[in-house]
Amino acid sequence: MRPLFSVFNVLALVLLSLSALAYRVVQEPPATPRAPQLRLAGQKNVQVTLYFSDSQVRRYVRQVRDVTVSQDDPVVQAQATLKGWAAGPQAGESAANGSPLAVVPRDSAVPTVMLRGEHFVVNLPSSYAALNYGVAGERMLLCSLTRTLLEQRGKDVMFLVGGKNADTLLGHADLHAPYAREDCADE
Amino acid sequence: MQRAEQSGRQKEGQQTSRTSLGSLKKMALLGLLTLAGLAGAQFTYTQLSLVGRSAQGISVYGKEYVGSSTLSRLVQVSESDGIARIDGLGHVLLLPIDEDQQRATTDYNTVQLDSQRVKAATATRQDGKLLLPLTTLAQGLDAQYTPGQFSLAPAALSGVSSLAGKESDRIVLTLNRNVTVREELLGNSLRLTLVGASASTQNYTTRGIFLPRVQVTAAGGGARVTLPLPVGSGYRVYTVQDAAGSRVLLDVGPGIPLNVPALLAQVRKPLIVLDPASLPTGGPGVSRDVTLEVARSAAELLSKAGWQVRLTRDTANAPELAAREDLARQSDVFVSLDLGRFPGMARSGVTLYEFTGQATAQIVNAYRQAQGEPLVGQVVSELSSSRTLSNLLRGELKSDGLAAGQQPQSRLLVLGEAPKAALLLELGWTQSRADQQRLADSAKTTQMATALARAVATYLTARANAGQS
């Protein structure tokens, strides 16, 4: 009689067990990969100059502020600057001359900005056209924004209202041509 | 040994003399080249006395020329299709522009001096600049020219004569040389200025029925001839040139059509446009439509005094922007009335915003550049006219005990359409308690309306007296 636990049988049993194990392993569903954690590599603080109105709506009040930008791109920086401008002056920030007044109401929509070479194009939200400002107020809105954008780069700023070319914003200012620095000089 | 040394010294001496001869040759060659270069440059700058003023001339192949920009203070110079046109002193000269400088200086060119074509030196270019020959200019403009000296005989009005006709009368003004004649029609008074001419102040009576009298006055810019233009009569001015000098002929009468009626009507009755801003529910803090009230009161006062006034709105409804712009374009005086509004501000009082920027229409800007030309002042005013009106209004408000601020503004939409004086009068600030009280007082708003009416009437009267619309 042949022995049951012969070398051959033992080896064959081991091989069979390994095969069964391998079969089971390959039949298991693959583990779900974990999504990689999003990290903004280029996030950094940039110092920008923002312009607001003085209490007489005559002069510009300058504030220097740090804004966070995710890319080293002029349009992204300009957009971040406008976000700071629309948020209004912040208490405790250094102001060059006098106490500043916000030019648009708090929580207003932020204008969107595009850059074409040396020329900015700013799309003012339609809600701005409903602001109840006089001639000095309208000029202050457009010029504080112009000065804020042109502080870093660019030659002029063309304004659109609600995504379209407009004759005026609030009935006083002429928006047919772009605004340059000399249009917004100090009085 | 000694012979050998001597021969060596002789050789050295020969070599030295050869070297010095060579360097002399080189220097001579260099000198020749320099002289040849100088000779090749066929122009030199010269000092020129141009009608009593020092100017720079250019001698091209021995012929003296002057730059068109230098000459433009004396006559108008323009160029088109290779022809230089010189217009002034009563002459028109047409000179072909020859790019070949040497050929331009010769008499092989044909130039046109008024109605005559003659052989003379013509225009050329140097570094792209237009140069004009002084000999030809002197011939065409009746001037005296010697190298370095270009002068004009002093123009003088030597005689005034008249001729009565059936349908028109004629006045003949005799001058010793041709001059530029400027015409200005101010209301029903026609004024001719003989630019640069001297004359003795005198009144002349004629035998004509259409032109009974002529007044000649000596003014700073030249002799001034003023005459009344009868109703329904037109006029025509032209110059006749002859060897003895020139004559300016003026025909006046019903037989000549008047070709500037619209302008005359405008001058006789200027249009004042008042533009009260339409504020949402009168604005916070001001319950009444103050801008409309002040505009209505001022318009009533001006209308009673005989002025022509239009309002951009007469109801609570806001007018269309296009309608406001259309009225602004027609206006002789345009005044917007508004209230200051801005959240959180601490400002009060009256402010006058003067329009100081470029007009929307390029033609208005072009006319503003040409203010010296006749009739231009009646169509488009200088930008300073807004400041004049603003000063008058400030004075009127001050006399009523109200101090007003002034602020120049360059980018105003509707005011930019106005070809003449344009202002924005900010009556006060809606958030200011002091202004709210002042604007709620009818007596105070009537005072402001009166001040506005007085300022506008004074401004237009002064303009009319000064000879502008």
ipTM of this complex = 0.74
B147: tokens are 């190298």
Interface with chain A: mutation pick from B275, B312, B326, B341, highest number of A CBs within 10 Å:
B341
Q: Do B338 and A56 touch (CB under 8 A)?
A: no
Q: Is A173 on the interface with B (CB under 8 A)?
A: yes
- Residue scoring higher pLDDT (B48 or A98): B48
Q: Do A171 and B413 touch (CB under 8 A)?
A: yes
**Contact between residue B181 and residue B192 where contact means Cβ atoms under 8 Å apart:** yes
Neighbouring C-alpha atoms within 13 Å toward the C-beta of B152: 23
pLDDT digits (tens, 9 = 90+) for B58-75: 998 889 999 988 888 788
Q: Is A172 on the interface with B (CB under 8 A)?
A: yes
- Is the predicted pLDDT of residue B469 greater than 50, yes or no? no
pLDDT bracket for residue A127 (50, 70, 90):
very high
Interface with chain B: mutation pick from A106, A172, A183, highest number of B CBs within 10 Å:
A172
Nearest-CB residue to B346 (from A55, A139, A179): A55
**Helix, coil or strand: residue A152:** coil
**What is the arithmetic mean of pLDDT over B229-249?**
84
- In whole angstroms, what is the distance from residue B374 CA to residue B27 CA? 64
Q: Do B360 and A176 touch (CB under 8 A)?
A: yes
Q: Which runs of consecutive H residues, i.e. helices, occur in B132-270?
A: 134-141, 261-268
- Residue scoring higher pLDDT (B269 or B127): B127
pLDDT at B1: 42
Q: Is A140 on the interface with B (CB under 8 A)?
A: yes
**What is the arithmetic mean of pLDDT over B188-211?**
87
Interface with chain B: mutation pick from A53, A54, A56, A57, highest number of B CBs within 10 Å:
A57
**What is the arithmetic mean of pLDDT over A43-64?**
90
Interface with chain B: mutation pick from A55, A60, A135, A169, highest number of B CBs within 10 Å:
A135
CB contact set of B253 (below 8 Å; sequence gap of 6+): B165, B167, B168, B169, B208, B210, B211, B230, B233, B234
Nearest-CB residue to B338 (from A105, A135, A139): A135
> In B, which residues are within 8 Å of A139 by CB distance?
409, 411
**What is the arithmetic mean of pLDDT over B282-289?**
65
**What is the arithmetic mean of pLDDT over A120-125?**
96
pLDDT digits (tens, 9 = 90+) for B336-390: 999 999 988 888 999 999 988 888 777 787 777 776 666 677 777 887 889 999 9
pLDDT at B266: 59
- Is the predicted pLDDT of residue B282 greater than 70, yes or no? no
Most confident of A49-58, B82-91, B275-284: A49-58
Q: Do B413 and A168 touch (CB under 8 A)?
A: yes
81-110 of A, contacting B, C-beta below 8 A: 101-102, 105
Q: Is A179 on the interface with B (CB under 8 A)?
A: yes
Mean pLDDT of chain A: 89
- Is the predicted pLDDT of residue A138 greater than 70, yes or no? yes
Q: Is A165 on the interface with B (CB under 8 A)?
A: no
**Contact between residue B239 and residue B247 where contact means Cβ atoms under 8 Å apart:** yes
Q: Do A137 and B410 touch (CB under 8 A)?
A: no
**Helix, coil or strand: residue B306:** coil
- Is the predicted pLDDT of residue B2 greater than 60, yes or no? no
pLDDT digits (tens, 9 = 90+) for B304-318: 999 999 999 988 788
pLDDT at A155: 93
**Contact between residue B278 and residue B316 where contact means Cβ atoms under 8 Å apart:** yes
pLDDT bracket for residue B38 (50, 70, 90):
very low
Q: Do B353 and A134 touch (CB under 8 A)?
A: no
Mean pLDDT of chain B: 84
- Is the predicted pLDDT of residue B228 greater than 90, yes or no? no
pLDDT at B6: 55
Of B37-41, B79-83, B394-398, the one with minimum mean pLDDT is: B37-41
pLDDT digits (tens, 9 = 90+) for A8-35: 999 999 999 999 999 999 998 888 888 8
